[in-house]
Structure 1
């Protein structure tokens, strides 16, 4: 495994700046997630590291070496795509062993057998080794797709939304599996997603992208608790952070906009708000309010029940402040 350093990398497609002067370090053994909406530059960044796209400017260093002139094969990276990318006529065993038979790796047969068996145990699919790929479920296909990368033992794993095409339960199960595998192997992994739950539950570091720029980079907790802007604050947290005019609450405020996470709204005192509806989700209840014409979502005890139209009082606790442009005010 290896540290990966991006130094001022940029890439344009015509007039569109897909990646705009990004610099970041992916530490050895880290699980780094690039988070952002469609078009933020996540996949292009991944492809620049892998060598599938050519840099316009900047440097990519893997294990201290400039790989700008290397082919994808020479960079010793393994990529997992959103789609399964399996050979349907092959068995699971044949799909897993295929990368090891490349002319570059020239892996001995006994080593291939050992690695395939080892990876199948890690992925908990040893009983599926002799099944054709077409006989697998969606979750099993994606495990095999991930396994094709794991057998390589590359310097870095690059994963482009590998769970997005799966149903909710499979996504949740494989999130746990993928984090376990990465921790057990101590591998360096760069993972692209627009799903904040994936980012918060798996990452050691999160890079938030906006229009091709890296706008914040840090631990999940730091980015959640100390976002640098309204944009970053809105990328993490469910329900989403409430961004409101500060004047809705009495007293002095540091900025014109106040950001309130649902768990940071205290009920029982403060400004009056009207209940719109309650969402009972089992482990929590989300209360949707109208605060002087502004929608607010807060969390209440699951045993409480508020009818629509009821008037309650709320006040901020540990609020975040932003200026008129959306930048954080400390």
Structure 2
């Protein structure tokens, strides 16, 4: 595996700036997740690293080696796309074998058989090896697509929202599998998603992209607890962070325009009266949707709370975050 570094990388498509002077290091053996909405520059970053696109300026290094002039094959990367990229006329076994039969890899037959069996067992598709790709369910096809990347030993795995088209249970199962596989292989993995649960549960590092710029890079906990801006704060956390006027509670510092309160940072039982609009019971927790001074808030409470719609609770902030007029975090 290898460290991947971007130095001041910019990419334009016509007048649109897809990536704007981005510098970032994907450490060797890390699981890095890029977060951001559609158009933030996530997929463009993967395509630049893979060699499917070329930067207009800046430099990309893989294992300390500049990639300028290298073809995608010469970069030794493996990419998994959002949509299944399988050969429909081939069996599962043949799809998994395909990258290992590349003239560049020259993998011996017994080694191909060993790797295919090992990855098929990990992804729980061993019983499907002789099935045609067209005979698989959507979840099985995506497992094969992921497996085709995993059978190789690339310098970095690039994954572009590979779980987004799967149902919730399979997505949760594969999320755990992927993290286990990455940890066991010691693989370097760069993963694109808009799903903050995937980022919080799988990533060693999170990169937050906004209009092609990297606004924050750090551990999931660091981005969650110490966001650099309202935008970064809103990328992680479910329910989302509550953003309120800074003066809605006393104690705001100078220059503060907005206050951010995570749902778990609204203390109940003291403070000021708030109306319970809705009680949302989720089993392991209960969410309270509140009205406070004409503002809507969401907080969490214990699962078996006796609170009901229309009740009054007293609330006050705990560990609030403050932001200036530009939405940037104040110390």
Residue number in structure 1 paired with 2:305: 304
Residue number in structure 2 paired with 1:94: 94
Secondary structure at the residue paired with 2:306?
Answer: coil
Residue number in structure 1 paired with 2:326: 325
Matches within 5 A, 1:203-242: 203-242=203-242
Cα deviation for residue 252 of structure 1 reads 4.6
Secondary structure at the residue paired with 1:182?
Answer: helix
Residue number in structure 2 paired with 1:71: 71
Residue number in structure 1 paired with 2:265: 264
Secondary structure at the residue paired with 1:326?
Answer: coil
TM-score (norm 1): 0.97
Residue number in structure 1 paired with 2:107: 107
TM-score (norm 2): 0.97
Cα deviation for residue 305 of structure 1 reads 3.0
Q: Is the 8 A contact 2:252 2:322 kept in 1?
A: no
CA distance in 2, matches of 1:326, 1:258: 10
Cα deviation for residue 195 of structure 1 reads 0.5
Compute the RMSD of aligned alpha carbons: 1.1
Question: Any gaps of 5 or more consecutive residues in structure 1?
Answer: none
Q: Is the 8 A contact 2:7 2:59 kept in 1?
A: yes
Question: Any gaps of 5 or more consecutive residues in structure 2?
Answer: none
Residue number in structure 1 paired with 2:182: 182
Secondary structure at the residue paired with 1:73?
Answer: helix
Q: Is the 8 A contact 1:249 1:270 kept in 2?
A: no
Answer yes or no: is 1:6 the counterpart of 2:13.
no
CA distance in 1, matches of 2:43, 2:185: 24
Answer yes or no: is 1:281 the counterpart of 2:289.
no
Structure 1 pair 99–298 and aligned structure 2 pair: CA distance change class (3 A): same
Structure 1 pair 249–205 and aligned structure 2 pair: CA distance change class (3 A): same
CA distance in 2, matches of 1:73, 1:7: 22
